[in-house]
Amino acid sequence: MEKRDYRFYIKVRTYLGETPTVIHQDLVAFAGGKAVTYPTVLKWHKRFSENKMDIEDLPRSGRPITAVTTENIEMIRTLIEEDPHSTYDDLEADSLLSRGTIETIIQDCLQKVKVASRWVPHKLTEDQKKKRLQVCKENLERINNGQLRLGNIITGDETWLYLRQIRRRQSHYTWIDKAQPPETLVKKGKFEKKWLYCFFFRASGWVALHALDKGQTLDHEYYIDNCLSLVVKAVRKDRSNSGMRGLSLLHDNAKPHASSKVLDYLRGEGFQLMPHPPYSSDLAPCDFWLNAYIKRKLTDQEDEVSLFKSVTELLDNIPKEEFRKTFDKLVERMHLCIKNKGDYFEHLMH
């Protein structure tokens, strides 16, 4: 529908006594995300309710040939400052300027772009930013002077995996015949079957995988006996001559990971521990790559056995180059963290 069509529709529904809310809901049901916004419906509903029946933009007295005037620039600036989330439709309705004029003012005069808000894992304190900055500088220094080799880092973390996969809403849009009903999807329930998985990998590929036993809690003892022991066994098999020499483990500061008994176990096995700052999932390769990759590729499963098999196959089919590039990205992320003075930095990534 064109702009005039929406306005005519709102005009007719207003004349029939419908409220702005009902009119907007029906427009969304018909046009989805392309429908005009509620503030726009409200604006035109008010105008038509006052018996102002013209569906064209009203002329502004004294408007010059070009509408990009100082007055209009300041008006758009004020509207945006009052509501940073306003859309072009909102600005058109509030200013009575054309979309082309508004675009010119926003892009050329105000030099603004519209971006999505940033979600961050945690509101960092200044001390936490300093700690992130310090850890990144220390790790990069060790990498640069050869004390820490990217190929010798093993990283790991845990994530929940469900038998039934529910994607983001946008991924479920499909083309269907007009008379065909849309596919029905059921939201995840509170008691959906899920398992906690532990992943470990390095630049050459995945190292170990473990699904927690049903009803089991991940504490430091379980972490040592069932997760880290798998890593040690896999490394000894793969590196029969060099063993643990030169290897570093990178995991976050969750309670089971930070236990003194875990630290003693790692030292006893010859592992070094690569420092990781708190609240820094953006510096954890499992968090910024592998966990999301697995969930994106995973399909619905019948039971925990098929789930484990599918996850294993997914890991086996990841190209070795992807594992290696993830550690290159870790270095890039540490540089960005330093550039952003320890604060979250993903908005700086291209």
State the average pLDDT over residues 276-287.
96
Dihedral sign from CA coordinates of 63, 64, 70, 76? positive
State the average pLDDT over residues 215-221.
92
Q: Kindly report the number of other CB atoms within 10 A of residue 152's CB atom.
A: 16
Tokens 């029905």, residue located: 184
For the chain, the domains span: 3-109, 126-170+189-348
Please, what is the Cα angle at 25 between 20 and 27, to 5 degrees? 95
> How far from 327 is each of 54, 179, 203, 274, CA to CA, in Å?
61, 50, 7, 13
pLDDT tens across 286-326, in order? 999 999 999 999 999 999 999 999 999 999 999 999 999 99
Q: Is the pLDDT of residue 167 over 80?
A: no
As a whole number of angstroms, the distance between CA 137 and CA 84 comes to 36
3-state secondary structure at position 207: strand
Mean pLDDT across the chain, nearest whole number? 87
Q: Kindly report the number of other CB atoms within 10 A of residue 96's CB atom.
A: 16
> How far from 52 is each of 5, 37, 48, CA to CA, in Å?
17, 20, 5
- Cβ within 8 Å of residue 249, ≥6 positions away: 153, 154, 155, 156, 231, 266, 271, 272, 273, 274
- Cβ within 8 Å of residue 108, ≥6 positions away: 68
pLDDT in the model for residue 124: 94
pLDDT tens across 74-98, in order? 999 999 988 888 888 889 888 888 8
More confident residue, 6 or 339: 339
Q: How far is CA 56 from the centre of its chain?
A: 41
Residues 149 and 246: beta-carbon distance below 8 Å: yes
CATH of domain 126-170+189-348: 3.30.420.10
pLDDT tens across 174-183, in order? 555 656 666 6
